[in-house]
Amino acid sequence: MADKNGQGNQLKRGAIGTLPLVFLVIAAAAPLGASATNTPLIFALGNGAAAPLDFVFIGVILILFSVGYTAMASHVTNAGAFYTYISLGMGKKLGTAAGYIAVAAYNLLCVYLVSAGGTFASQIFEQELGVMIPWWVCSLIFAAIILLFSYLGIEGGTKFLMVCLVLEVTILAIVDISVLVQDGIGAYSLECFSPEVFFSGAPGLGVCFAFLCFIGFEATAIFGEETKNPRKTVPRATYAAVIVIGLVYSLSAWSVCAAVGPENVAALAGEDPAGLYWSVAVSHCGDAIGHIFYWLLIISNFASWMAAHNMCSRYLYAFGRADLLPKALEKTNKHKSPFVAAVVNIVFSLCLAFLLALFQLDPYSEIGAICSAIAIVGIMLLELAVCIAVIMYMRKHNSEPGYGHNVFQTTIAPIIALVGMGYVMFLVLSNFTLLTGYESLPINLLLGGLMVIVGVIGFVVAANLDKKGKLADPQSIDVEDIAEAEKLAEGMEDLEPAQSA
């Protein structure tokens, strides 16, 4: 772990606490962006006014997932997160295959954000300033800013994301409170939470789009190596992130229903899905809030890209450290940032987005839609595998000192989460044509199965390395043990001059 100069390629220990970690992963979910763009799709294409209940439903499933996930996180700290957990529960070869899926999925998620962030920024600049800036120019500017934050380390970037998130949630709260004050508590109909409304329309699509809004919550474990007291911080942050995300989305969706009427929300969202939330903001808060809304939408998408970039960089770093990708990826700079991995992620994301654009694909409706759909399938596959890995890992270790988790944590909650997330996965694949925008069955089969192909290739690579005795064991890369070894090594180096004298 140390280079010839004695400088270890470790991430910065104890750089962030529970609250900053919560802000970091919630920023990845882009509360304002998701409320403005994803929630109207639930209204228009899903089960209409049941959107608030859809978010609660998904939130409950993810809380159950978090029960086992955080139980394992309290014993394992590694930037590889899903890769590490699945390796320890289901074996190194399957874990390595899952790790390659994670690397591919988070990189594709960044490609989506390159395209979406640039597109929204370009449109808003033209609308608000009358200046036409190509989407790819906006993306290049954002990429440069993200790289600067990445170079300076996790602390500065996290503080910036905290500010972004506060601004996003503030404007959502202003709109929600304005609707409550002007329309009254009576406008908030409990009909939105009724089973009858939930099962109306296309509930499968509603649940599917609601789940997409939570993508990123699982990243708490990725930053474990850089948190204070990770084995307590990661579990706390995971629960907090799921609860906050669920409440913000559910309350915002409920406020929109209250503002326009539960019976009207589906039709209005169908007419103008992108402008529904903005129109509610303007009608209840005035034109000034409408302008602020657009500028904060740029910030929301930028913050989401920056958070996803941080996640991806750490997966690349972890795979470089494990010799599963080029060793250079484990290099850190003087700020203890995995800057080589950060540059690789930015370059890959920009190059793939720009390359696809050369083939005349629309940056948002095609490039963004395709890459996000593939990434979602990959992340869901990982979450399903983690449910199984938690059960298997706890069966092996729960009788050991320091464990002693109850059966709900080790078995019941993971099984319920597995069933619930399996159902959501079925819904995603059943509606994959809507996510990609393509009707062709062969194309959707290829895109939908791409993450499985990556996993198979990863398994073959892992099997080959294992045969040669070169497959890394994540259990041997425990952060706390590494930190102690580095401290000991530094102490030995300090003694050498004295011994020479």
- Each residue's pLDDT tens digit, 257-279: 999 999 999 999 988 887 899 99
Mean pLDDT of 380-390: 94
Mean pLDDT of 461-477: 84
**471, 96 Cβ separation under 8 angstroms:** yes
The DSSP letter of residue 336 is S
pLDDT tens digits, 102-112: 999 999 999 99
**154, 310 Cβ separation under 8 angstroms:** yes
pLDDT at 282 over 80: yes
Where is average pLDDT lowest: 233-237, 331-335, 470-474?
A: 470-474
Q: At residue 8, what are phi and psi to the nearest 5 degrees?
A: -70, 145
Distance (Å, rounded) from C-alpha 453 to C-alpha 104?
Answer: 11
The residue type found at 313 is S
* Contact residues for 452 (Cβ-Cβ < 8 A; gap 6+): 381
16 DSSP β-pair partners: 227
Residue 7: pLDDT band (50, 70, 90) is very low
pLDDT at 496 over 80: no
How far CA 119 is from CA of 132, 275, 368, 441, in Å, comes to: 11, 16, 10, 28
Give the total residue count for the chain: 501
Q: Model pTM?
A: 0.87
Q: What domains does the chain contain, in order, with CATH numbers?
A: 18-500 (1.20.1740.10)
Where is average pLDDT lowest: 193-207, 291-305, 463-477?
A: 463-477
The residue type found at 23 is F
50 DSSP β-pair partners: none
3 state DSSP class of 405: coil
Q: Please give the sequence-ordered ranges of beta strands (E in DSSP) within 173-270, or none if there are none.
A: none
Q: Which residue is associated with the tokens 């903005």? A: 278
